[in-house]
Amino acid sequence: MKIPLAWRQLTHNKVRLLVAVLGISFADILMFMQLGFLDALFDSSVILHERLNGDIFLINPQSNSLVAMKSFSRRYLYKSLAVRGVESASPVYLEFAFWKNPFNKSSRAILVLGINPQYKSFNFLNLSKNIQVLKEQDVVLFDEQSRPEFGAVAEEFRRGKKIITELKGKRVKVAGLFSLGTSFSADGNVLTSDLNFLRIFNRHRDSIEIGVIKLTPEADLLTTQQALRQSLPQTIKVLNRTEFMDFEKQYWENSTSIGFIFFLGTTMGFIVGIVIVYQILYTDVDDHLSEYATLKAMGYRDLYFVAVIFQEAVILAFLGYLPGVFISISLYSLTASATSLPMFMTATKSIVVLVSTIIMCCVSGIIAMNKLKSADPADCF
Model confidence pLDDT, tens digit, residues 3-62? 577 788 788 888 888 988 998 999 999 999 999 998 888 888 899 999 999 999 999 999
Instruction: Assess whether pLDDT exceeds 50 at residue 1.
Output: no
The answer for residues whose C-beta is within 8 angstroms of residue 370's C-beta and 6 or more apart is: none
pLDDT of residue 232: 93
- CA 370, 372, 373, 374 torsion-angle sign: positive
Choice between 1 and 162, residue whose per-residue pLDDT is larger: 162
107-115/207-208 β-pairing = unpaired
pLDDT of residue 339: 81
pLDDT of residue 377: 57
189-193/139-143 β-pairing = antiparallel
355 pLDDT tier (thresholds 50, 70, 90): very high
Instruction: Assess whether pLDDT exceeds 70 at residue 375.
Output: no
Instruction: Assess whether pLDDT exceeds 70 at residue 379.
Output: no
pLDDT of residue 137: 92
pLDDT of residue 149: 93
- 147-190 per-position pLDDT tens digit: 999 999 999 999 999 999 999 999 999 999 998 888 888 999 99
Would you give the DSSP letter of residue 185?
Answer: S
Choice between 53 and 374, residue whose per-residue pLDDT is larger: 53
- 65-119 per-position pLDDT tens digit: 888 899 999 999 989 999 999 999 999 999 999 999 999 999 999 999 999 888 8
φ/ψ region of 340 (left if φ > 0, alpha if ψ in -120 to 50, else beta) reads: left
- 205-262 per-position pLDDT tens digit: 889 999 999 999 999 999 999 999 999 998 899 999 999 999 999 888 887 788 788 8
189-193/164-167 β-pairing = unpaired
Would you give the DSSP letter of residue 352?
Answer: H
Q: How far apart are CA 67 and CA 44, in angstroms?
A: 13
pLDDT of residue 2: 58
107-115/237-240 β-pairing = unpaired
Choice between 77 and 297, residue whose per-residue pLDDT is larger: 77
The answer for residues whose C-beta is within 8 angstroms of residue 321's C-beta and 6 or more apart is: 24, 25, 28, 353, 354, 357
Choice between 291 and 320, residue whose per-residue pLDDT is larger: 320
Do the beta carbons of residue 94 and residue 112 sit within 8 Å?
yes
pLDDT of residue 124: 77
Task: Using alpha carbons, select from 52, 50, 49, 55 the residue that is nearest to residue 224.
Answer: 55
Q: How far apart are CA 177 and CA 130, in angstroms?
A: 8
pLDDT of residue 348: 92
pLDDT of residue 7: 84
- The single-letter code of the amino acid at 35 is L
